[in-house]
């Protein structure tokens, strides 16, 4: 199994605006020290994260981003069934979202969600549910899920549909803004599994921070760590030294710190790169969540 030298975890945000307190970056390395936050004088912007990944990423870095890299496809044979512009694969989906939102600042996704056809597939705020949010004869009213998200449930976590834009746990906007970033990274950074794992260089993967939290011993309905004592207890479970600090810590920072340590612990394990249910078609259209075996 190939080796990485650095492990970067990114807690992402799809919220509107230039700078986001919900974005946090944490870096660990193979020397075994505690993970550290990469701080800015002001909160990170999405475009700053893009430039960091493209221009300033340390060599041989495994990057984990807490977002969905694609929308459901396999359940209907299309991302947007019934729409002739529905893309055939993940990279074309990224291009469609970025092109539709080319006039939106800050890598935002408002134009895609306001598109008269695209809007029909999403659950929006204010009780507005697109008429194509559910498939015919859908087994639940939670919206569509990717295969990886069904597999996530076996890890004791509760994924939310990437077509959902409502509630504190919604991930739709982070997914769509992330697609704009991923499209602009093409040719600069491999994205697994749409790209095969290269023998060298840096790689970006989709992560779900709650899975890292489970590996750190955070169980039950709790997945967020909001003080340094809890964070350091979870880091110890992952074989990481503690981070400095006492008292409260925001959960974006704790998610990033814990996940960076988790990436360092598991990245060498071939099982994480060879999920049982990942097929070539899924790799091309839906992707996968690193850590879902």
DSSP per-residue string spanning 221-267: T-----BHHHHHHHHHHTTPPPPS--SB--HHHHHHHHHHHHHHHHT
Entry pTM: 0.96
If one compares 271 and 155, the residue with the highest pLDDT of the two is 271
In sequence order, which ranges of the chain are alpha helices (DSSP H)? Answer: 46-51, 90-100, 110-114, 147-152, 172-185, 209-215, 228-237, 251-266, 280-285
Determine phi and psi for 46, rounding to 5 degrees.
Answer: -65, -35
Answer yes or no: is pLDDT of 221 > 70. Answer: no
| Cα 82 to Cα 77, 119, 176, 201, distances in angstroms | 10, 13, 20, 39
For residue 255, give both structure tokens: 């998610």
For residue 123, give both structure tokens: 């659950």
| Cα 287 to Cα 51, 149, 196, 284, distances in angstroms | 23, 10, 11, 6
| Percent of residues, the chain, with pLDDT higher than 70 | 99
pLDDT of residue 80: 98
**HSE-up of 64 (CA within 13 Å, CB side)?**
33
For residue 52, give both structure tokens: 């960091």
pLDDT of residue 114: 97
pLDDT tens track for 121-138: 999 999 999 999 999 888
Q: Is 207 helix (H, G, I), strand (E, B) or coil?
A: strand
pLDDT of residue 194: 98
pLDDT tens track for 229-282: 999 999 999 999 999 999 999 999 999 999 999 999 999 999 999 999 999 999
**What b/e string do you get for 240-253 counting C-beta neighbours within 10 Å, with b at 16 or more?**
beebeeeeebebbb
């Amino acid at each position: 199994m190939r080796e990485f030298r650095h492990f970067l975890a990114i807690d992402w945000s799809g919220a509107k605006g230039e700078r986001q307190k919900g974005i946090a970056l944490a870096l660990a390395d193979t020397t075994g020290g505690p993970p550290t936050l990469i701080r800015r004088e002001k909160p990170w912007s999405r475009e700053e994260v893009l430039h960091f990944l493209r221009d300033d990423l340390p060599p041989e870095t495994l990057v984990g981003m807490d977002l969905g890299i694609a929308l459901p496809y396999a359940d209907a044979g299309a991302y947007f069934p019934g729409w002739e512009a529905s893309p055939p694969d993940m990279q074309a989906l990224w291009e469609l979202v970025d092109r539709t939102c080319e006039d939106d600042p800050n890598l935002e996704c408002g134009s895609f969600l306001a598109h008269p056809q695209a809007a029909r597939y999403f659950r929006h705020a204010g009780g507005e549910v697109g008429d194509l949010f559910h498939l015919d004869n859908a087994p639940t009213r939670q919206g569509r899920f990717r295969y990886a998200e069904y597999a996530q449930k076996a890890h004791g976590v509760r994924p939310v549909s990437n077509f959902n834009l409502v509630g504190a746990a919604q991930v739709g906007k982070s997914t769509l803004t992330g697609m704009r970033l991923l499209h602009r990274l093409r040719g600069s950074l491999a994205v697994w599994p749409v790209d095969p794992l290269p023998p060298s260089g840096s790689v970006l993967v989709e992560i779900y921070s709650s899975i890292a939290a489970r590996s750190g011993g955070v169980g039950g309905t709790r997945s967020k760590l909001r003080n340094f004592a809890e964070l350091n207890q979870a880091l110890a479970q992952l074989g990481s030294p503690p981070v400095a600090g006492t008292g409260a810590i925001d959960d974006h920072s704790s998610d990033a710190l814990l996940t960076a340590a988790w990436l360092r612990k598991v990245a060498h394990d071939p099982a994480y790169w060879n999920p049982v249910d990942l097929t070539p078609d899924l790799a091309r259209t839906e992707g996968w969540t690193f850590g879902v075996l």
